[in-house]
Structure 1
Amino acid sequence: MMYVYAGKTALITGASSGIGEVFARGLAKRGMHVVLVARSEEALRKLAAELTKQYGIRSEVIVADLSQEKAAAQVKAAVETRGLHIDMLINNAGMGTYDAFEKLDPERDHQQVMLNVTAVVDLAHAFLPEMAARGEGAMINVSSMAAYMPMPYMAVYAASKAFVLSFSEALSVEYHQRGIRVTALCPGQVETSFHQKTEHPVPRAGATISAQEAVTTALRAMEQGKSSVIPNRMNQASILSTRFMSRIFLAQGAASRLKPQSLKNPTR
């Protein structure tokens, strides 16, 4: 069934840059009003003004740190105060940590779980019931190719993205007959600042795609009612091949590729 964008409202987390910003631009171009959520107020307001001027849509800004307790409830309250109804939820905000587990800041890993997992669930609870009551809605959750395998040195990140994938696929089936489309976007390397925001440079692997390709693929998959999608044929083939490998073998391969340089050449 065709999805109609024009006149509806989308809420996008992590909208100030990267994939989130591209989602905002793409949906505004399709005639959707947008609610932009992130921590960076200046960047959000600049983007909102640009989208309203260029496409004539309503752009709202909600400044929130979704790694904090009860942040989703604050976002929902802000939406209700403005008299908005959310037709599409884009759970894009995320973060990653990379290093030997015992070297990572426990607080950063806690924030990672809050942002990558808890906020996704809380925002789904906040807006999915209203979609179900209307008999129409969409949710795109940004997962990762990392969801398909254990990843030493990025253990929490990969596990959090595996949660997002499983959660999305389950809700896709649960709500399909009620008119709600739920899709997990599982990209590999994307040309954004994500990897620069981890504590150390993360080794790159697989095909690198643009944020635009990721967003275009996600929206097409949502329109087609797919529960998950991996952009780029090379990355699709890579994940398909993992089905014939044991998870411990995959973890060992990831460990070899991701092992931090400091552990390969430890200081004596």
Structure 2
Amino acid sequence: MAMPLPFRSALVTGASSGIGAAMAQLLAGVGVDLVLVARSAEKLETLAAELREGHGVSVDVLPADLSDPAGMKKVETRLADDSRPLDLLVNNAAGGMFGKFAELDADDSTRLVTLNAIAPMRLTRAALPGMIQRERGWVLIVSSLGALQPAPLFAVYTATKAFLTNFSESVHEEVRDSSVVVTVAMPGFTKTAMGDQTGVADSGAGALLWDSPENVARIALTACALGRATIVPGTLNSAIATTSKLSPRGLMRRLSGMTTGRMSANS
């Protein structure tokens, strides 16, 4: 890490791969004890053993499907346990869908909204009261650059990320005077399994925008430690974010539709 991190303990969702696993590696590397959450107990146990052996930190494994109310409740209970306080919550777990909304399964769309938007909201709600009472705590929410503009063929996914971004910035202001930080990170295309889920990975689109999970994790954690409300990892992505905010909404909608249309043709 470029700077020391103030966290002593952290819970990371979506920790079995991609940005979540990179977060866990970086946090363990600076001595942060961890609770790892993902659906696959086997993958979590493998990562936990690696982190314990490599960094000498305490690592608990909490298998849970955050698109399922029972799994969500299990993680909420752990976050609200004042006998085992956690400094940092990383809301990273997410899924993706690619295709025309009218052709997508409605139940799949609902599960995606639950995983990407409702679960982070509820987990943040579970963590914040204890953090505010202790006057110590950080919440890092992983959104997406796609939150800043419409994206045909990614309608549900980008809508959930827009929710996360607005939610995070709003709560950041609510807790500003309580020594608690809420940060939202908005990465662009990142080399994770998400590309496989959306059909983008093999399209060749946005080749210059692809970033590594490790770089995204490093920048996001540093921004959270510094108390930032928002962070867009990568200079080019930051420029795109600024352009998205300043450009007419109709223009961005048309350009996005042309881009995702080419993705669909090449996938």
Fold conserved between structures, TM > 0.5: yes
**Structure 2: which amino acid aligns with 1:111?**
R
Question: CA shift at 1:258, angstroms?
Answer: 0.4
Structure 2 equivalent of residue 153 of structure 1:
153
Question: CA shift at 1:76, angstroms?
Answer: 3.0
Question: CA shift at 1:73, angstroms?
Answer: 1.7
The answer as to whether partners of 2:6 and 2:225 remain within 8 angstroms in 1 is no
Give 3-state SS (helix, strand or coil) of 1:259's partner: helix
Does residue 92 of the first structure (1) align with residue 92 of the second (2)? yes
Q: 1:85 & 1:226 partners in 2: Cα distance?
A: 22
Question: Residue deviations 1:19-67, cap 9 Å, x none?
Answer: 0001001111111110000001111001111111111111000110001
Q: 1:143 & 1:246 partners in 2: Cα distance?
A: 22
**TM-score (normalised: structure 2):** 0.92
After superposition, the Cα gap between the structure-2 partners of 1:80 and 1:226, relative to the gap in structure 1 and judged at 3 Å, is: closer
Superposition pairs of residues 100-119 of structure 1, within 5 angstroms: 100-119=100-119
Q: 1:241 & 1:261 partners in 2: Cα distance?
A: 21
Q: 2:127 & 2:79 partners in 1: Cα distance?
A: 10
**Structure 1: which amino acid aligns with 2:182?**
V
Q: 2:246 & 2:176 partners in 1: Cα distance?
A: 30
Give 3-state SS (helix, strand or coil) of 1:235's partner: helix
RMSD between aligned residues: 2.0
Structure 1 equivalent of residue 248 of structure 2:
246
Structure 1 unaligned blocks of 5 or more = none
Superposition pairs of residues 121-160 of structure 1, within 5 angstroms: 121-160=121-160
Does residue 229 of the first structure (1) align with residue 235 of the second (2)? no
Q: 2:10 & 2:27 partners in 1: Cα distance?
A: 8
Structure 2 equivalent of residue 23 of structure 1:
23
Structure 2 equivalent of residue 9 of structure 1:
9
After superposition, the Cα gap between the structure-2 partners of 1:249 and 1:222, relative to the gap in structure 1 and judged at 3 Å, is: same
**Structure 2: which amino acid aligns with 1:214?**
V
Give 3-state SS (helix, strand or coil) of 1:150's partner: coil
Give 3-state SS (helix, strand or coil) of 2:256's partner: helix
After superposition, the Cα gap between the structure-2 partners of 1:126 and 1:96, relative to the gap in structure 1 and judged at 3 Å, is: same
Question: Residue deviations 1:214-235, cap 9 Å, x none?
Answer: 0111012112211111111111
Aligned residues: 260
The answer as to whether partners of 1:73 and 1:126 remain within 8 angstroms in 2 is no
Does residue 207 of the first structure (1) align with residue 172 of the second (2)? no
The answer as to whether partners of 2:66 and 2:72 remain within 8 angstroms in 1 is yes
Give 3-state SS (helix, strand or coil) of 2:246's partner: coil
Q: 1:181 & 1:3 partners in 2: Cα distance?
A: 13
**Structure 1: which amino acid aligns with 2:252?**
L
The answer as to whether partners of 2:132 and 2:179 remain within 8 angstroms in 1 is yes
**TM-score (normalised: structure 1):** 0.91
Structure 2 unaligned blocks of 5 or more = none
Question: CA shift at 1:253, angstroms?
Answer: 0.8
Q: 2:124 & 2:244 partners in 1: Cα distance?
A: 30
Structure 2 equivalent of residue 216 of structure 1:
218
